[in-house]
């Protein structure tokens, strides 16, 4: 599961589509965590797609991650600023790849 303390335990190494990327990153095998308020651990996501289907405000879009061992697409939190903290994505992800911090 994603580390809920990732902001303490990781460093920001990049930016992508307007959100932060928390390392370590070693492409294509290791991709880190994308987003902060809505955070997706790309190294855990296996492209189930429930988060994209269920998010009521369309926070997520697919992004291509060719060569990653778990899946070659990931749910990217491109609209994390629109999140309404319903926690549905956290509940439906089968591998607990998503962390949302209500604030």
Q: How far is the CB of 80 from ligand SF4 (least distance, A)?
A: 7
Tell me how far, at minimum, the Cβ of 64 lies from ligand SF4, in Å: 20
Token digits for 47? 């492209």
Asked if 88 interacts with ligand F3S (CB under 6 A), we say no
Under rule CB under 6 A, which residues in 18-77 are in contact with ligand SF4?
38, 54-57, 59
The helix or strand, by DSSP H or E, that contains position 98, with its residue range, turns out to be strand 98-100
Residue with Cβ nearer ligand SF4 (27 or 53): 53
């Amino acid at each position: 599961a994603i580390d809920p303390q990732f902001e303490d335990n990781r460093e920001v190494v990049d930016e992508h589509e307007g959100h932060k990327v928390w390392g370590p990153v070693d492409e294509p095998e290791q991709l880190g965590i994308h987003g902060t308020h809505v955070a997706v651990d790309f190294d855990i996501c296996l492209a189930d797609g429930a988060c994209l289907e269920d998010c009521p405000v369309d926070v997520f879009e697919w992004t291509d991650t060719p060569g990653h061992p778990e899946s070659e697409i990931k749910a990217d939190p491109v609209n994390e600023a629109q999140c309404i903290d319903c926690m549905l994505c956290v509940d439906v992800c089968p591998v607990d790849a998503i962390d949302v911090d209500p604030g």
